[in-house]
Structure 1
Amino acid sequence: MAKVRALDPSKTASSLDTPTDLKPDGVAAVSKALNALLADTFALYLKTKNFHWHVSGPHFRDYHLLLDEQADQIFSTTDDIAERVRKIGGTTLRSIGQIASLQRVVDNNAEFVPPVEMLRELMNDNKAFTANLRKAHELCDKHDDVATASLIENWIDATERRTWFLFEASRAGDNSGH
């Protein structure tokens, strides 16, 4: 018996049926976790761009460029996450409404946010995102999905880097050196 679920040649395959060696419960669990991460990624991207567009003050240029760089990095992972869901046979997000229903990153619609508060808020959002990535990694381990786990490890590293940069940049308004 082959490990990879074969498509039955006597039946017409569903347009979205993707062969995989993951068990159906693994596909469902990992897809659900990845879709929540994808929703968070879109929410974190938009929040980072919001702050990029609305940052002001003496460190404007540095913060503006930092947030733009981080937003680009965050956005670049969206396709990888969504395509991984499809590669394992799941379906992924289809709308802004679905993103809103799954996201755990809290929106910030304030008219003005002081720059250091922006950086700290994004730092905390990235820290929480790392924790959610680790939970998804554990789920992948449980279902023997090493490929997704490997991708998640890279996303954790990138998110920890963003967290570090946001922490250090937010200290510019701190003057305590701690």
Structure 2
Amino acid sequence: MTDTKGALQTPTDLNRNDTRSVADALNSALADCYTLYLKTKNFHWHVSGPHFRDYHLMLDDQASQILGVTDAIAERVRKTGNTTLRSIGDIARRQTIRDNDADFVSAADMLAELRDDNLKLVESFRIVKAAAEEANDNATSGVVDEWTDQAEERAWFLFEASRKG
């Protein structure tokens, strides 16, 4: 279905005004996911040191998990009748996780930065959860719990891998 301007009119029983705040929160979290995905891959490609293999494999697994969430987030935005990210520029305008373009980052600093970034993503997901509950969007409220748990687990793994012992 389209309206007279050609815009999609996705069928939903949710209030369109309420879902805009949910979509905004989801799009911000999606921008953070893409930022965190690329940073995790960057660190995966550039990690070095005595734990190279373990860190290299862990970061690759984590990057795959993060990328796997992106489609679910974007589709959730569309299911509520809204539009999602369209470009790298759109991601840059919405991201709250900072890029890292340093020529060299130690393995310890990589793990610490990614741990903090995953916890920042948890904060983004909590904002999504609050907006979804306010909009009576049960589906988004439910699915964001899994994304939160995954980000918390990644932060935990990064923390444990970085401990001196």
TM bracket (short chain) = over 0.9
* Structure 1 residue 41 corresponds to structure 2 residue 21: no
TM-score (norm 1): 0.89
* Structure 1 residue 81 corresponds to structure 2 residue 73: yes
Q: Quickly say closer, same or farther: Cα 1:13–1:20, change in 2 above 3 A.
A: farther
C-alpha deviations, 1:50-92, integer Å up to 9, x for none?
0000000000000000000000000011110001100010000
User: Following TM superposition, by how much is the alpha carbon of 1:12 offset from its aligned partner in structure 2, in angstroms?
Assistant: 5.7
Find the residue that maps to 1:112 and give its secondary structure: coil
C-alpha deviations, 1:80-130, integer Å up to 9, x for none?
000110001000011000000100110000000010110010000001110
Higher RCO, Cα 8 Å, sep 6+: 2
Larger Rg: 1
Tell me the matched-pair count. 165
Over aligned residues, Cα RMSD in angstroms? 1.5
Q: Quote the residue 1:17 is aligned against.
A: 9
Q: Quote the residue 2:96 is aligned against.
A: 104
Alignment gaps of 5+ in structure 2: none
Residue identity in the other structure for 1:151: V
Distance 1:67 1:111 in 2: 18
Alignment gaps of 5+ in structure 1: 1-6
* Structure 1 residue 68 corresponds to structure 2 residue 68: no
Which aligned pairs between 1:1-178 and structure 2 lie closer than 5 A?
14-171=6-163, 174-175=164-165
Distance 1:119 1:161 in 2: 13
Find the residue that maps to 1:109 and give its secondary structure: coil
Residue identity in the other structure for 1:16: L
> Following superposition, which runs of at least 4 residues in structure 1 exceed 3 angstroms of deviation?
11-15
Q: Percent identity?
A: 54
Distance 2:8 2:28 in 1: 20
Distance 2:108 2:37 in 1: 18
Residue identity in the other structure for 2:22: V
Distance 2:13 2:6 in 1: 17
Distance 1:70 1:26 in 2: 32
Find the residue that maps to 1:50 and give its secondary structure: helix
